[in-house]
Structure 1
């Protein structure tokens, strides 16, 4: 079949009218160019609605989708893994008020694998090829095979939502799912990270403060250039190359060129940029701390030495959560995020009663159903762990 991309305002406005005349929920998907471009903008948006058909839009060509949003905003939108697409959809003016996430729904009903192709095959009996999922969707013109793939991604979502809705209802999880979908809509999908350069892979191998300063300046230089030319930073110079330069601290530009580990397509073409960054790092008085201070909780592997009581609480609570996860047929990370459980175990309420656990979970952003499901077990686990710490051994005289 021949699939066309809508890339003019006239075609777009005609499609808005057609979609508005359709019936039922809106199946929607977006394709980005992750790993190829710096931005996470949408380079293709696909929509399907019964009674209207399938529409593929070119967002860079169209610009604002405010007219479409006005027509479909109050309808239920069906997405698969909505948290991956909502940010780029909102960038062009598409912002739902009601959501059905088939990926999250699959998790909550206990499906073992939740990729779209797997879920479609398991629930609808249709094989959905996913060979173009990691393609560079900023390519123009888009190959016809990619467009066919993109259209199929949304054409089955309405059927999938209906079957999954029945599964959710039969499992008695309608209220749980509603809370989770609402949380996706209100979640901050673009959290601002402090000191993002510390995400450099291999940064932990650097020992000196000056080495860290050079790594920071190299990361900042790469990030600025990547943003300028809209290219994924790792495609210019990989993390391993930046860390190698920060570890070696080459004395001259020639030494930097001679480094075999300093690779990447822009490693030589932008040599002055990287050399200047190294010089800034070597000369700056703004030296970064070896470790980030603040509310950072150490990794659980060191808790037995640093905070034995917290270690016992965490281990007891983890065992309780594993049992609850099996009972609810919900993955652990959806029952209660591991990071939240770690925070609670490391810094529990002063009064270790059930009401205090409930308040602490709510303050940390746990949903109502999560609190109701987990608070009693966490409280019991913490109390048991405290008793095992404080109680004298049977051999004590």
Structure 2
């Protein structure tokens, strides 16, 4: 397994041009995301079948040749379990690999579990046991050790033969086009834009609040989101989710009361003035402008019985297709369908997963009849 470490622009330009001559390239990233809002890119692995490159983005000011490769539509990019990698690319380069396919998705079409790891697949398909001891290492530290470099290189070196095996098998069972569709769906979900005014809806437990309390939580959550992005700090390192709920529920307007109610003293010292002002302003919201009460789907009449019917139908399709039930339609995707029918009046502009792509003919149409 020979590889080169890329730290100079001319080297980057050369390996990216070579990669753009290939039909397919293997891609991976190593990053750190502990306290930050955005993932911190530490290393990029690129393998075009002949040249294996470990690209050091910390040593390069101009990454434009790599960005051009990401956007080159004549080159298929292969990744494994790429959800977070997509965020890394979007944050670092303002784009994602296109076209792209995820080998974890390909494996799911062959009956593997939806979350089958890279090392597990390599062992099963190639008979190679990978050392994954470096998976939690600090990829921003320099210099990287030999062990780190070997670990990173292996992630794309073995990805190629694994992809080729999966491609042959997926094509044989006629799921290749579906695997591409599902990979595109992954991109849509990971790179969707955030509406700061609606981030309060993502807070667990928000449904327990009354509209008057939601009128306080909403601007608090919006402020926290903007603060996290501005400081590149994970949301809960600004103010914890449960603390926002407490402030909103009790309409806390003093730093002393916040600490008494269990809000982190460090957060209170840093943010109490802003938090108190937000609460005071929100309490002036006219009643007719309160956010609507959040009604969980499970509180809708007949939810449990209907959900069970949908789940039973998914199991039946799983038995005929050989695809795992969670892959066909997870609990979240079934709830997405019910929300689309009950709350969105079947809006054709926002189709749920089961009503689009490869799922529609084998599952979606059957589920919609049950909902009717």
Q: Which runs of 5+ in 1 are unaligned?
A: 351-358, 384-397
What SS does the corresponding residue of 1:51 show, helix, strand or coil? Answer: coil
Query: Quick one: distance in 2 between partners of 1:253 and 1:191?
Result: 34
Task: Report how far residue 79 of structure 1 moved.
Answer: 0.6
Moved over 6 A (4+): 1-4, 347-350, 359-362
Label 1:378 to 1:16 Cα distance change in 2 as closer, same or farther (>3 A).
closer
Label 1:281 to 1:344 Cα distance change in 2 as closer, same or farther (>3 A).
closer
1:327 to 300, 320, 341: 320
Label 1:182 to 1:209 Cα distance change in 2 as closer, same or farther (>3 A).
closer
Task: Report how far residue 167 of structure 1 moved.
Answer: 2.2
User: Is 1:9 matched with 2:9?
Assistant: yes
What SS does the corresponding residue of 1:267 show, helix, strand or coil? Answer: helix
Q: So what's the TM-score if we normalise by structure 2? A: 0.78
Q: So what's the TM-score if we normalise by structure 1? A: 0.74
Query: Quick one: distance in 1 between partners of 2:253 and 2:5?
Result: 53
Task: Report how far residue 117 of structure 1 moved.
Answer: 2.2
Label 1:198 to 1:362 Cα distance change in 2 as closer, same or farther (>3 A).
closer
Label 1:59 to 1:110 Cα distance change in 2 as closer, same or farther (>3 A).
farther
Could you tell me which residue of structure 1 aligns to residue 36 of structure 2?
A: 37
Task: Report how far residue 331 of structure 1 moved.
Answer: 2.9
Task: Report how far residue 120 of structure 1 moved.
Answer: 1.9
Number of aligned positions between the proteins: 360
Mapping for residues 25-174 of structure 1, pairs under 5 Å: 25-40=24-39, 42-58=41-57, 61-66=60-65, 69-70=68-69, 73-90=73-90, 91-92=92-93, 95-112=96-113, 113-134=115-136, 137=139, 139-141=140-142, 143-144=144-145, 145-174=147-176
What SS does the corresponding residue of 1:195 show, helix, strand or coil? Answer: helix
The CA RMSD over aligned residues, in Å, is 3.9
Could you tell me which residue of structure 2 aligns to residue 263 of structure 1?
A: 264
Label 1:218 to 1:314 Cα distance change in 2 as closer, same or farther (>3 A).
closer
Label 1:276 to 1:69 Cα distance change in 2 as closer, same or farther (>3 A).
closer
User: Is 1:341 matched with 2:368?
Assistant: no
What SS does the corresponding residue of 1:104 show, helix, strand or coil? Answer: helix
Label 1:361 to 1:126 Cα distance change in 2 as closer, same or farther (>3 A).
farther
Asked whether the 8 Å contact 1:321–1:374 carries over to 2, the reply is yes
Query: Quick one: distance in 2 between partners of 1:361 and 1:187?
Result: 15
Asked whether the 8 Å contact 1:89–1:95 carries over to 2, the reply is yes
User: Is 1:196 matched with 2:199?
Assistant: yes
User: Is 1:273 matched with 2:271?
Assistant: yes
What SS does the corresponding residue of 2:55 show, helix, strand or coil? Answer: strand
Label 1:205 to 1:106 Cα distance change in 2 as closer, same or farther (>3 A).
same
Label 1:35 to 1:128 Cα distance change in 2 as closer, same or farther (>3 A).
same
Which structure: larger Rg?
A: 1
Asked whether the 8 Å contact 2:79–2:103 carries over to 1, the reply is yes
Q: Which runs of 5+ in 2 are unaligned?
A: none
2:225 to 218, 223, 226: 223
Task: Report how far residue 322 of structure 1 moved.
Answer: 1.5
